[in-house]
Amino acid sequence: MNNKIILGIGALLIVFSLSKPYIDKAIENNNNNVPNVVVVEISDEQKENVKNIVELLQTGPSERTASCLMLSGLYREMATLISLDQEDKIIGTTGDIRQANSLSGKILKVDLEGDYENLGGLCSDYVKSQIGDKEVPLDDELRSKAAEAFEALSWAFNEGAR
């Protein structure tokens, strides 16, 4: 009976030692879920325009860091996509821009609205202030303004994560 127990413990130790690298990697990945975001520096005017978003985010719980950084990265990528969409015009109207903004949290399955009253409204208002609230086709100027607006939101969420 004692031999069976010792053999069972030995087998468990062997299984554990063989799977330890995978367990360590899973723990390491879980602790490093905070994305690394490269944020473009924005103008002082843009900083002033998104200041209310930054201040609201900074009042939130400390667990906000990863969510804010994920959204910062998404806004940065959206700015890049809008800038690069010169030929295909997949994003063709200001309505497409506003819709992309409204879906940003849902895309990443991030719900910050519960922690921040009217965060989505502030972001939407900022985007509207940059591109207008009428649905019109994007020309080069509006496309540039939309990309800059998303760069500013990326900066705001990055600052809000601090």
* Cβ pair 148, 156 in contact under 8 A: no
pLDDT at 85 over 70: yes
Q: Note whether residue 37 is domain-resident.
A: no
Number of domains into which the chain is organized: 2
Q: Note whether residue 96 is domain-resident.
A: yes
Distance from first CA to last CA of the chain, Å, rounded? Answer: 59
The burial of 47, by beta-carbon neighbours within 10 Å (0-12 exposed, 13-18 middle, 19 or more buried), is given as middle
Q: Note whether residue 58 is domain-resident.
A: yes
Q: How far apart are CA 87 and CA 76, in angstroms?
A: 20
Q: Note whether residue 24 is domain-resident.
A: yes
Q: Note whether residue 61 is domain-resident.
A: yes
Question: What local confidence, expressed as pLDDT, does residue 31 receive?
Answer: 44
Q: What is the DSSP string of 71-118?
A: HHHHHHHHHHHHHHTTSS-SS-BHHHHHHHHHHHHHHTT---TTTSTT
Task: Judge if 116 and 81 occupy the same domain.
Answer: yes
Q: Note whether residue 38 is domain-resident.
A: no
Q: In the 8-state DSSP scheme, what is residue 60?
A: S
Domain with 53 in it: 44-160
Task: Judge if 27 and 85 occupy the same domain.
Answer: no
Task: Judge if 58 and 124 occupy the same domain.
Answer: yes
Task: Judge if 6 and 70 occupy the same domain.
Answer: no
Q: Note whether residue 148 is domain-resident.
A: yes
- 78 CB contacts (<8 Å, ≥6 apart)? 100, 104, 150
Task: Judge if 53 and 114 occupy the same domain.
Answer: yes
How many helices (H) and strands (E) would you count in the chain? 7, 0
pLDDT tens sequence across 24-80: 554 444 444 555 677 889 999 999 999 999 999 998 887 788 888 988 988 998 999
Q: Note whether residue 39 is domain-resident.
A: no
pLDDT tens sequence across 113-147: 667 788 888 999 999 999 999 999 999 999 999 99
Task: Judge if 88 and 136 occupy the same domain.
Answer: yes
Task: Judge if 20 and 73 occupy the same domain.
Answer: no
